[in-house]
Structure 1
Amino acid sequence: MAKVLCVLYDDPTSGYPPLYARNAIPKIERYPDGQTVPNPKHIDFVPGELLGCVSGELGLRSYLEDLGHTFIVTSDKEGPNSVFEKELPDADIVISQPFWPAYLTAERIAKAKKLKLALTAGIGSDHVDLNAAIKAGITVAEETFSNGICVAEHAVMMILALVRNYLPSHKIAEEGGWNIADCVSRSYDLEGMHVGTVAAGRIGLAVLRRLKPFDVKLHYTARHRSPRAIEDELGLTYHATAEEMAEVCDVISIHAPLYPATEHLFNAKVLNKMRHGSYLVNTARAEICDRDDIVRALESGQLAGYAGDVWFPQPAPANHPWRNMPHNGMTPHMSGSSLSGQARYAAGTREILECWFENRPIRDEYLIVSNGKLAGTGAKSYGVGEAPKGK
């Protein structure tokens, strides 16, 4: 029997279960590219429930325990005395989320002698040292695109919130004020602006599709250029590098994976090439931006606003400078964990586990590392020497 160690974020401060705003969520059968949503044999939860926190348990407890497996769920993941560190050495499977990642560094993988499967509930496995996982023969899997539309919608929301100066204006209303001049002195129309995405994979392309009706001029940069038909459909202008695109855009939204070539891609050099008063949104990974260069760009006015929900480390310390830098629209890492997204990535986690325990193949699009090498989505996302180190 297996020991399954699952790291999830904390329960609501008001207790679990919460009072839900809606009674149900729409049923989605396919993603925009035609891929079917997760299809496990069975689920032990109601879609729309809060599943990503400790008490939600991704709806897995009865399934795993009925099979005789040991299931440990915790939010305590950092430091030598954490529950995660203590339980890791004899864990067979580790489940984590991008929002509250259990960092599987080479050092931790070396301690986990029995570990065979590292499973990400959601998109993004850069919290796992993939090279160490390859050497140790560990399979790494995630539910590709399960919460991609959640992230795309969040990014578009943040773009509009920054450009229209929504958050400061809401605060004025909340505090009893009514000075319209204070609200509109930093408010612009998105219409007519040049908007670009870094990467145009599933999430980046979803953002571009949602922005087209705003009558903006769309740009993108990506390691793999999109088909001509998509460029023509959306009116996309391709740029070979982010630096080249930065020079012509008023707004940039980042949707690239984190690997050595993208780490600190948006540093002072690139930020200073952007148009003065531009906006930057990052719902990908924090380390794609240089933390202190972002702060300085906002303080100088080179950036008119920065929004995102990705931090390093996660959770971010209370004194992280992005919490109180000027003109920011930061949130905790929640873009991909809407209740709609949770239903899909919890079902995807169940699907992968069913395949694992029944010795059936895991979907190719879910695989990052398999049989001692990059596989599936992992092979498409990373090149030789590009695999993240799980820091």
Structure 2
Amino acid sequence: MPGERLTVVVTRRLPDVVEARMKELFRVELRDPDTQMSREDLIEAMGRADVLVPCLTDDIDANMLAQAGPRLKLIANYGAGVDHIDVASARQRGILVSNTPDVVTEDTADMALALILAVTRRIPEGLTEMQSGDWPGWSPMAHLGGRLRGRRLGILGMGRIGQAVARRAHAFGMQIHYHNRKRLRPEIEAEVGATFWESLDQMVTRMDIISVNCPHTPSTFHLLNARRLKLLKPTAVIVNTSRGEVIDENALTRGLRAGEIAGAGLDVFEHGHEINPRLRELPNVVLLPHMGSATLEGRIEMGEKVILNIKTFADGHRPPDQVLPSML
């Protein structure tokens, strides 16, 4: 493999500077026009590529990997999450998988705070009223939201992004609580005054706002299920900038419609872009099209990570961001 010029197939368009650098280093096939590949397209691409560069919308399962050509040796995912790739099956077939961790932390945390503000301060309602031209003028009781200072924020998943959300929320005067697989070191907790809850059930019953920041794995699927959502205070708000599958979306919709949950800010959804239509109709819900990491700086840094992983692999070394089944 060292010294060879690899054939790299990219499934979606990337920033110009990233594509230009790929052209310099590899025999690269870019996606033009920028449309999502079908299942058949992906299988064909895996048949002719040494390296496939997919995105989170490209589901790659065991059956597809079984049809991959013998050339495919690396799936260099453009994104941190790899729940759309059967990593275990890839490893069994000698195909490495890499991702792009750590580059979307600050951008995603920014979006989590933006959603918290948008829901609690009813910003979209005000925006809609102004854009429609129906604003009758200021009134003391119009658009009353809630103050963030003093509210209890429960962070579900206290990894890099969760900690970045905690730092931002702490600056707003919020009380920081969290549930995580492992408790953080005391000095990290002390930085934001975070309180650890070993029991997720006990935490959610006491929080004013829940921020979902854990990855989607078999153990986190519907972690916020119908039973746990029933434990929330009726004044509570849920924000999710991680993975939609962590929340039972139908149960969440029912709770919001029944007034059992005060509001939600969602940047991700359980079934991709197929969103529960009843969820769209609710005035106490803010929906975004998976914009959490959508900054130009972040997208370029993701591309640089992909290139580094491919280049390191091409030089005969282990990609620095290789993902192993044991890590999931």
Structure 2 length-normalised TM = 0.90
CA distance in 1 between partners of 2:50 and 2:169 (Å): 43
Q: Does 1:4 align with 2:8?
A: yes
Output aligned runs, 1:163-178, within 5 Å: 163-178=120-135
Task: String of CA shifts for 1:31-63, please: whole Å, max 9, x gaps.
Answer: xxxxxxxxxxxxxxxxxxxxxxx2636623x44
Output aligned runs, 1:194-273, within 5 Å: 194-273=152-231
| Equivalent residue letter for 1:159 | I
- Aligned partner of residue 219 in structure 1, secondary structure: strand
Cα separation, partners in 2 of 1:55 and 1:138, compared to 1, 3 Å: closer
Q: Does 1:122 align with 2:88?
A: no
2:235 to 277, 302, 317: 277
Cα separation, partners in 2 of 1:157 and 1:63, compared to 1, 3 Å: closer
Task: String of CA shifts for 1:192-219, please: whole Å, max 9, x gaps.
Answer: 1111100111000000011102211110
1:311 to 255, 265, 269: 269
CA distance in 2 between partners of 1:319 and 1:233 (Å): 39
Task: String of CA shifts for 1:41-94, please: whole Å, max 9, x gaps.
Answer: xxxxxxxxxxxxx2636623x4444456242425332344xx334323332211
Q: Contact (CA 8 Å) 2:223, 2:247: kept in 1 or not?
A: yes
Q: Which residue of 1 aligns with 2:15?
A: 56
Output aligned runs, 1:171-190, within 5 Å: 171-179=128-136, 180=138, 184-190=142-148
CA drift at 1:268: 1.4
CA distance in 2 between partners of 1:64 and 1:233 (Å): 40
| Equivalent residue letter for 2:37 | K
Q: Contact (CA 8 Å) 2:43, 2:67: kept in 1 or not?
A: no
Cα separation, partners in 2 of 1:157 and 1:70, compared to 1, 3 Å: closer
Which ranges in structure 2 are unaligned for 5 or more consecutive residues? none
CA distance in 2 between partners of 1:182 and 1:138 (Å): 62
Q: Which residue of 2 aligns with 1:40?
A: none
Q: Which residue of 2 aligns with 1:298?
A: 256
Cα separation, partners in 2 of 1:248 and 1:163, compared to 1, 3 Å: same
| Equivalent residue letter for 1:102 | D
Q: Does 1:342 align with 2:299?
A: yes
Cα separation, partners in 2 of 1:175 and 1:109, compared to 1, 3 Å: same
Q: Does 1:367 align with 2:326?
A: no
Which ranges in structure 1 are unaligned for 5 or more consecutive residues? 9-53, 383-391
Which structure has more relative contact order (CA 8 Å, sep 6+)? It is 1
CA distance in 2 between partners of 1:325 and 1:89 (Å): 45
- Aligned partner of residue 79 in structure 2, secondary structure: coil
CA distance in 2 between partners of 1:320 and 1:120 (Å): 31
Q: Contact (CA 8 Å) 1:304, 1:327: kept in 2 or not?
A: yes
- Aligned residue-pair number: 320
Task: String of CA shifts for 1:301-349, please: whole Å, max 9, x gaps.
Answer: 11111112112433x1376544334421111112112112112111111
| Equivalent residue letter for 1:368 | V
| Equivalent residue letter for 2:314 | F
Q: Contact (CA 8 Å) 1:299, 1:326: kept in 2 or not?
A: no
CA distance in 2 between partners of 1:334 and 1:67 (Å): 30
- Aligned partner of residue 63 in structure 2, secondary structure: helix
CA distance in 1 between partners of 2:164 and 2:193 (Å): 14
- Aligned partner of residue 206 in structure 2, secondary structure: coil
Cα separation, partners in 2 of 1:259 and 1:113, compared to 1, 3 Å: same
RMSD: 2.2
- Aligned partner of residue 36 in structure 2, secondary structure: coil
CA distance in 2 between partners of 1:178 and 1:241 (Å): 45
Percent identity of the aligned residues? 25
Q: Normalized per residue, which structure has more helix?
A: 2
CA distance in 2 between partners of 1:112 and 1:325 (Å): 44
Cα separation, partners in 2 of 1:193 and 1:178, compared to 1, 3 Å: same
Q: Contact (CA 8 Å) 2:176, 2:195: kept in 1 or not?
A: yes
1:140 to 97, 121, 140: 97
CA drift at 1:182: 9.9
Task: String of CA shifts for 1:140-159, please: whole Å, max 9, x gaps.
Answer: 11121111111000001100
Cα separation, partners in 2 of 1:243 and 1:78, compared to 1, 3 Å: farther
CA distance in 2 between partners of 1:260 and 1:317 (Å): 21
Q: Contact (CA 8 Å) 2:77, 2:98: kept in 1 or not?
A: yes
CA distance in 2 between partners of 1:134 and 1:75 (Å): 28
| Equivalent residue letter for 2:147 | D
| Equivalent residue letter for 1:259 | T
CA distance in 2 between partners of 1:108 and 1:160 (Å): 42
Q: Contact (CA 8 Å) 1:152, 1:207: kept in 2 or not?
A: yes
CA distance in 2 between partners of 1:270 and 1:326 (Å): 23
CA distance in 2 between partners of 1:122 and 1:79 (Å): 19
2:119 to 153, 162, 167: 162
Output aligned runs, 1:89-104, within 5 Å: 89-98=47-56, 101-104=57-60
Q: Contact (CA 8 Å) 2:11, 2:36: kept in 1 or not?
A: yes
CA distance in 1 between partners of 2:246 and 2:225 (Å): 9
Q: Does 1:77 align with 2:37?
A: yes
- Aligned partner of residue 29 in structure 2, secondary structure: strand
